[in-house]
Structure 1
Amino acid sequence: MSEFKPQIFSGIQPTGNLHLGNYLGALRKFVALQEQMDCIYCVVDMHSLTAQLVHEDLKEQTRAITAAYLASGIDPVKHIVFNQSKVREHAELAWVFNCVARVGWMNRMTQFKDKAGKDRENASLGLLAYPSLMAADILLYRATHVPVGDDQKQHLELTRDIAMKFNLDFEGKIRNSGTGIDITVGDQPVHAFFPMVEPLIEGPAPRVMSLKDGTKKMSKSDPSDLSRINLTDDADTVARKIRKAKTDPDALPSEIEGLKGRAEADNLVGIFAALSDRAKADVLAEFGGQQFSQFKPALADLAVSVLAPITEEMRRLNDDPGHIDAVLKDGGERAGVIAEKTMKDVHEIVGLL
């Protein structure tokens, strides 16, 4: 073959309720990408152990993320939906990559620094090695593209570094095994087994901020439930949270320039724009000069119209855990076929008997 088969891989951790930011920034994009190439969407339950080992409801959270995938419109028949721990090769390839990656690479990961805080010596080894497992998640399927947000770009660069080092370290064995292809990285020709995965950024990513503080991202971990719109919130709750969202006393501007220095106004306009598939400038052309007392009800109606069908379907699916488990079992078996083939080739290349 002259090039790697186009393949998308992405995953979400089963920790906390998914919210509007997850939907606009990830799930809606996942659905759209199904029309472009083959997709593998994973619930990365093994990753959830890195920050917190003991969970009371990990199985339920895994099912809830799966329900959100399906309710948003991901097709588990045409594509693959599964949970990471169903396919043991994720952990096996991660160990090989632990031996490929350098400690210095891991220590430079900003997300490790942020999550470990000042007490880095007490952080789990899993938290430090988490990007290596992420690289294994992607490269186990020899994925070529990953939809990423700003917080994962560094990890994707590390995935490329790991792939490149593996390809170079074992280039002769890859060639002898007949499993690789010739690619060019920069000006360097390489006979590669793993692709140099590319970030997939579809237009300007909506950055959804907290409803209580427009300078902070909407987060599952924020102690205030009023800071986010959960995908499980009913219509009345969505409307109440938007009504209580922090704003300022000024009217909405008619032009984008007028949003500078007004984080909360910018956030609500951005949410309206993302939900309606419009530009912020178009939203301001319609609502410029109006007070938030007029804008918020329109935003609430829009949010409910978009999210209510997803919420209703998620509830239906969550009431049928057997169906969700069957989807994950089927997806795990199909993913496992690909993963087994990759690891068989890795064994041959590395020399594992």
Structure 2
Amino acid sequence: MAHNDSSLMRKINEQVIVVQLCVSLFLCINCVLIATFFMKDFFYTTMRYILFATTLLSDCLILIVTNLLLILSYFGISIQIWMCLIIFSLSSLYTFVTPLTLTTMTVERYMAICVPLRHAELCSTRSARLCIVFIHFLSSVPCIVTLSIVFTSVTLSFYKQYNVCAVQVFILHSWQHHLRSAVRQFYFLVMFITILFSYVKIMKVAKAASGENKKSMWKGLRTVILHAFQLLLCLIQLWCPFIEAAVLEIDLMLFINVRYFNYIMFSLVPRCLSPLIYGLRDDKFYLALKSNALYVFGKKNRSFRCQIKL
């Protein structure tokens, strides 16, 4: 029995180390991209780049919060419920912010390709700000529903209790599972239909285009496909808690493996696609990124040469 416990802890420790390395890498990449975004006026006055920056900030927050939850869960660390409430609220909010922002970015690409004459009017900086506010409002609805049930069902002493932080702490009634599932599936359905509609419309326009327009259309279509794949992974993440809860009743080791796989596949992988889509594939952002890198390394080389001369 002792041998099984030690091998389980060793496996957990290895998984935690791998996750920490991945999270640190993605956070560093995202911070570089965020810094590049704020260095050029064009980026923070253009809707698609404003939304891109929103996904980067959202990804950073969700990686930090979910990583904290993973560490607390893996090592069975108990915290007071009121602290767990704050962590849960952030996790719940930003779980939805990224997929909803990706959906909005896809709609923006649809307008740019299918309604080009009205694109500047519909996709202004003001529209971007309103979209971000609306995205955060929609993202907060599932969290507000869950917390409203908690606030009306427990006493103040509940918040002073210690427990391992997990969403199950706030599921006080069996029907809450069904309500939570219904809300998540509704969001999934709306986002999926929006992406599919945009994809079909852009594809029709791309097929009808010619010359340089055709090349530009197909590039836009590939961006939508990448968004769709990224969004699919984010949406599957909405189902992960239900899968993990079912697996936990079968076997603890299987639960740990499934949770680890889900975290890598549906939390980390979608977050590394954002830098690929706009950090490397977008010509303007790539040039700005390259320019900043050359400036930083050039400055270091000049400093190094000056030190040698001295």
State the TM-score, normalized to the length of structure 2.
0.29
Q: Give the number of the structure whose residues are more often helix, by fraction.
A: 2
State the TM-score, normalized to the length of structure 1.
0.26
Q: Give the number of the structure whose residues are more often strand, by fraction.
A: 1
